[in-house]
Structure 1
Amino acid sequence: MSTQLEALPYRHVLTLPAEPSAVRIARETAQQALVEWGIGLRHPTVDPALLIVSELVTNSVRHAAVVSPQITVIYAAGPDCLAFAVHDRHPYQPALYGAVTDSEVGGLGTVIELVLGLAGTAVVRADADGGGKSIWITLPL
């Protein structure tokens, strides 16, 4: 999975209000994009990817909506890679890989377990001004 994110030929960006309906819309948009890009919904990576998107958007709605009225979801794909990010304007940057060892059930712990189980990567990227972040997930296809 050496594909650079910038080189992925398929991209879609979705901006939503930071409210509970964003989870469903982000998931449905992911499904539509994958079909348009020729990635079958029965591909073994798709269900875990949809769950990861749902969990990340849920976290932004629950924890960032107070300071981030909008959430942006970026979807990207190439022949051997699926990538997506959830961005909000809350400055807190979670320790992603620490979530696996925490007693947390669901949320980021689930996300990281799924990512690792699929031999993917997860990274938090801070906004240049430090006032927000994106959580990027990359999964092999």
Structure 2
Amino acid sequence: MIMPPDSLPYRHVLTLPALGSAVRVARETAEQVLAEWGVAPRDPCRDPALLIVSELVTNSVRHAAVLSPHVTVVFAGGPGMFAFGVHDRHPYRPVLFASAGTAPGRGLATVMELTRGLGGSAVVRGDADEGGKSIWVTLPLRSGPR
């Protein structure tokens, strides 16, 4: 699994069975992590980050569980930044669409629109052995880790 840059001092790793309940647990964990790191409830990136985490974990559970019995979410934070990656062991690397009207992949298109609208970035990174991938999202914060 690809980890975020070492320059981000705050980290939390969550590995869950690739089941529907993973979505709720990942979202709740993201909420806890953001609160522990001092991200204000009204930070413009907080709620979109929770939605994006939920969407990416849903995609892993829905599309990768057949080859990936677990999904891992890595949260990382640093000065003005919140990054998270959702990893599974399915080799397919989805295209991050630019428009929510694009089908298939409307969920990822929504992820991209939210990410770009907030001034963030997203990337799909394959594992070194090509047997899995991580989708990483980085969002700017107005509060939180400094």
The TM-score bracket by the shorter chain reads over 0.9
- Distance across 2 between alignment mates of 1:92 and 1:99: 20
1:13 and 2:23 aligned: no
Instruction: Note the C-alpha offset of 1:5.
Output: 2.8
Q: Distance in 2 between matches of 1:105 and 1:76?
A: 26
Q: Does the aligned pair in 2 maintain the 1:73–1:85 contact within 8 Å?
A: yes
1:37-56 matches, within 5 Å, as 37-56=37-56
1:72-111 matched pairs, under 5 angstroms: 72-97=72-97, 100=100, 102-104=102-104, 106-111=106-111
Q: Which amino acid aligns with 1:72?
A: T
Question: Partner letter of residue 90 of structure 1?
Answer: H
Q: What corresponds to 1:113 in structure 2?
A: 113
* Greater percentage in helix: 1
Tell me if the contact between 2:16 and 2:72 (Cα under 8 Å) persists in the aligned partners. yes
Residue 104 of structure 1 and its aligned partner are, at CA, apart by 4.3
Contact 1:11 1:76 (8 Å CA) reproduced: yes
- Letter of the 2:94 partner, please give it: P
Q: How many residues align?
A: 138
Once the two structures are superposed, residues 14-68 of structure 1 have per-residue CA deviations (whole angstroms, 9 ceiling, x without a partner) of 0000000000000000011111111122211100000000000000000000000
Q: Would you say the 8 A contact 2:121–2:137 is kept in 1? A: yes
Which structure has more relative contact order (CA 8 Å, sep 6+)? It is 2
Task: Give the residue type in structure 2 aligned to 1:58.
Answer: T
TM-score of the pair, normalised by structure 2: 0.89
Looking at structure 2, the residues matched to 94 and 104 of structure 1 have their Cα atoms a distance apart, in angstroms, of 10
CA distance in 1, matches of 2:105, 2:42: 26
DSSP-derived class of the 1:7 partner: coil
Tell me if structure 2 keeps the 8 A contact 1:5–1:83.
Answer: no
Distance 1:15 1:99 in 2: 30
Structure 1 residue 109: deviation in Å? 1.1
Superposition TM-score, scaled by structure 1 size: 0.92
Cα RMSD over matched residues? 1.6
User: In structure 2, what is the equivalent of residue 136 of structure 1?
Assistant: 136
SS of residue in 1 equivalent to 2:76: strand
Which runs of no fewer than 5 residues in structure 1 stay unpaired?
A: none
Identity %: 66
